[in-house]
Amino acid sequence: MSAGGGAGAAAAAVAPAQASATLLQVRDLGVTFPPQRGRPAVRAVDAVSFDIGRGETLGLVGESGSGKTTTGRAVLQLQSASAGSVRLMGRELMGMRPSELRTMRRHMQFVLQNPYSSLNPRMTVAQILAEPLQVHRTVPARAVAERVAELMTLVGMDPAVVRRHPHEFSGGQRQRIVIARALAVNPAFVVCDEPVSALDVRTQARIVDLLQSLQERLGLSYLFIAHDLAIVRHVAHRVAVMFGGRIVEMGSAEEVYGRPSHPYTRALMDAVPVPDPARQREKLAQAPVDVDFHAARSPSGPCVFGEDHAQTGTPEWHPLSPTHGISCRFHPPQA
C-alpha cells in the first residue's frame, strides 16, 4: 500500500490464519501498461498485497476492468509487473531468470475462462495432457499414457476418450480437460480465472464441486477470480474485493459477505439480484445513495475514517479485525 506503514497494515489484515502455512505472498504488486496511440499509460494493478495459505482459496471479485485477471497473470509471471514482490513457496518470482522460472512453473498453473478457446483444436486430449508432462519431464516417457489416463479419471472422465479432439466434447467436459491439464505436473497453486463463467448453471455447480474435491484431495491452493459473488461465497475461504486496480476490502468470506464495510463492496452486494420480485424491489429501495466510484479514483478527499490522505500521508488500509480490513480511498456513501 502507500508509504508510511500501509503495506504492513494490509499484510496483517490479509494474511492467512497460520502464517507458517503461507504458500504465496504478494506485496505491493503493480502493473502499468505503457501509453499507446496517444493514450496515457494505464495503472492496471496498483499496490496489491495478499497472502494465500496452503490448501486455501482466496476469491478475487470485482467488476470487469477492475484488474482481477491482470493480477492473476502478473502473479504467474505471464504479465510483466512494474513493481512489487511475488513469492511462491518462499522463492521470489519477480526478476527470476527464465530457466529458473520455467522450473517454478510446474508449481503454479492456470485454468482459463473459456474452455472453447483454451484447447488446441488440432490436438487430441491425449496430446493435450501429455504436453506438460513432456515439457517438464515429470514422468518417464513410458509412463505418460498411464498418467494421462490417471488425470482423466481424476477429473471424472473416461480415459477411453483420450483419442478424441476438443470439438467432440461439451463445454463442461472441455473445462474438465483444462483442469486435468493444469494438474498434470502436480502444482501447489492454481489461478482459476472465471473458470465457470462460460458454462450453464448446472455445469457450473459440477465444475465448482470438482475444484473443491480436488483441493481437498490434493491440498491445492487457489486464487479464484470471478464476478459471480454467489459462486465465490461458496468456494472461497477469504475474499478480496478489487476496484480500479486496488483491493478495497479483504477478509474471511463470512466477514465480507456478512459485514461488507466498504461502500463499493456494499454496492456489489446490492447489485446481486434476488429471485423474489417483491424482495428485489425492497432491496433496491433500501440501497444506499449511489456513489460515483469511477470519479473517486483519486486518493484525495475524505475517507470513511475522515482522513485526507493527500495531505496527511496516512496509510490507506484500516484493519477492522485481525482478518478483515478496508482501503478508505473512496468517499463514504451519504447517509
Q: Which of 79, 106, 76, 109 lies closest to 93 in space, CA to CA? A: 76
pLDDT given at position 105: 93
Q: 206-215 pLDDT, tens per residue?
A: 999 999 999 9
pLDDT given at position 243: 87
Q: What percent of the chain has pLDDT over 70?
A: 79
Residue whose C-alpha cell reads 490522505 in the numeric block: 309
Average pLDDT over residues 130-140: 92
pLDDT given at position 148: 96
Reply yes or no on whether the pLDDT at 295 is more than 50.
no
What's the mean pLDDT when you consider all of the chain? 83
Q: 76-129 pLDDT, tens per residue?
A: 999 999 999 999 999 999 999 999 999 999 999 999 888 888 899 999 999 999
How far is 190 from 108, CA to CA, in rounded Å?
6
Reply yes or no on whether the pLDDT at 149 is more than 90.
yes
CA neighbours closer than 13 Å in the CB half-sphere of residue 251:
23
Is pTM beyond 0.75? Reply is: yes
How far is 138 from 185, CA to CA, in rounded Å?
7
pLDDT given at position 197: 86
CB 245 within 8 A of CB 46: yes
pLDDT tier for residue 285 given thresholds of 50, 70 and 90: low
pLDDT given at position 264: 82
pLDDT given at position 278: 66
How far is 250 from 335, CA to CA, in rounded Å?
23
Strand, coil or helix: what is 71? helix
All three cell numbers of 37 = 496511440
Q: 218-266 pLDDT, tens per residue?
A: 999 999 999 888 899 999 999 999 988 889 899 999 999 999 988 888 8
Q: Report angle CA 106, 93, 59 to the nearest 5 degrees.
A: 75
C-alpha dihedral sign at 70, 43, 23, 221: negative
Reply yes or no on whether the pLDDT at 14 is more than 90.
no
Contacts 24+ apart (CB under 8 A), 130-137: 131/181, 132/106, 132/181, 132/184, 132/185, 133/184, 133/185, 136/105, 136/106, 136/185
Reply yes or no on whether the pLDDT at 52 is more than 70.
yes
